[in-house]
Amino acid sequence: MRYAAPAGRAQAGAGGTMSTNLQSFSLRDLEYLVAVGEHLNFGRAAQACAVSQPTLSAQVRKIEEAIGTEVFERSPRGALVTPRGAEVLAQARIVLAEARRLFEVAAAGGEPLAGTFRLGVVSTLGPYLVPFLMKPLRARFPRLRLLISEGHTRALAHQLEEGELDAMLAAAPLPGADLTALKLFREEFVLVVPRDHPLARVERVTRADIPPADLILLSEGHCMRDQALAFCPGRLREDRPEMQAASLESLRQMVAAGVGISFMPQLAVQNGTLLDDLVAYRRIGKGDLAREIALFHRPGFVRIREARLLRGAVREILAGSSGVKVLGGV
């Protein structure tokens, strides 16, 4: 977030009272305010909120006048957040999150896992796990309206902390986030190589067998990229931007084309059979490279009972036929 110099608008005088009428703006106005803070541009914020720019600008100005504080410094290039404005935006996000929780509280008193539940899933997991879960979850919870959002770990964690998601599925641990983790399962990574690669003739490979220069990485933002680099630190010495993929399926296709080799999560191997005549999968040692998947929620989440119920259902479904190791405990 960029910051501007302190605004010069006059504040309420000493001993006076700031005339702030809370009825003069709504939660929607706060959403406009937060949108400008995220986009730092009134036009893009208006597009994100599906309103005209003059409407959004007028409502933001109305809030600034009501609280007696310049939240943004306007310029032809966009908007800058003032130091006081940063505090206002932080509080606005809290108010919006608490407003969402008001509806969560109402929903929590009814039938378990009925109604809308917003679940974030990291993009290296969602396409392979969600189809596996959807049918049995619908059978168990017919009134559940599960809204799935895929993305990178950091972006999803931010959405969860801001109250835009109810829970998220991602690899644990999750550094830097104030979230509670409910363990789900351990998923091994296997080495994926072209069918004509020398390692395709080896039943099981070791870390020493893997040539770092041939390793295709996922692009920046994927947590799997960091795991691969931690396992093969020699890859850092190879500056080869062409050896990067935006998704697991792009990565699999690059291996099939003979570009290089890479790692693939266990569930992605089971659900991606179209290129099996072009690629081979080999276990690494005794499962030396793996990730633990957890269901994350906010510590104060009012629907924690439902989060735990969802976690229990997912573990039971996976224990049946997925092949991954379901984790017990908290």
Q: Measured in whole angstroms, how far is the alpha carbon of residue 217 from the centre of its chain?
A: 19
Q: Report pLDDT digits (tens) over 203-238.
A: 899 999 999 889 999 988 888 998 998 898 887 766
CATH number of 22-105, picked from 2.40.30.200, 1.10.10.10, 1.10.3720.10, 3.40.980.10: 1.10.10.10
Distance of alpha carbon 192 from alpha carbon 259, whole angstroms: 12
User: pTM here?
Assistant: 0.71
Whether 66 and 21 have beta carbons less than 8 Å apart is answered as yes
H helix or E strand, kind and range, residue 105: helix 83-108
pLDDT score recorded for residue 241: 73
Report which residue type is found at 104: E
Average pLDDT of each block of 10 consecutive residues along the chain (330 residues)? Answer: 44 42 76 92 91 92 90 88 90 81 62 84 93 90 90 92 90 89 94 94 92 90 89 75 87 92 91 77 92 92 88 91 80
pLDDT score recorded for residue 13: 40
pLDDT score recorded for residue 237: 62
| Residue matched to tokens 């991602």 | 170
Distance of alpha carbon 267 from alpha carbon 187, whole angstroms: 8
The whole-chain average pLDDT of the chain stands at 85
pLDDT score recorded for residue 182: 95
Ranges of each domain in the chain: 22-105, 113-330
Contacts of 287 (CB under 8 A, 6+ apart): 188
List helix spans (H) across 196-294: 223-231, 248-256, 266-270
Q: What is the architecture, at CATH level 2, of domain 113-330?
A: 3-Layer(aba) Sandwich (3.40)
pLDDT score recorded for residue 186: 94
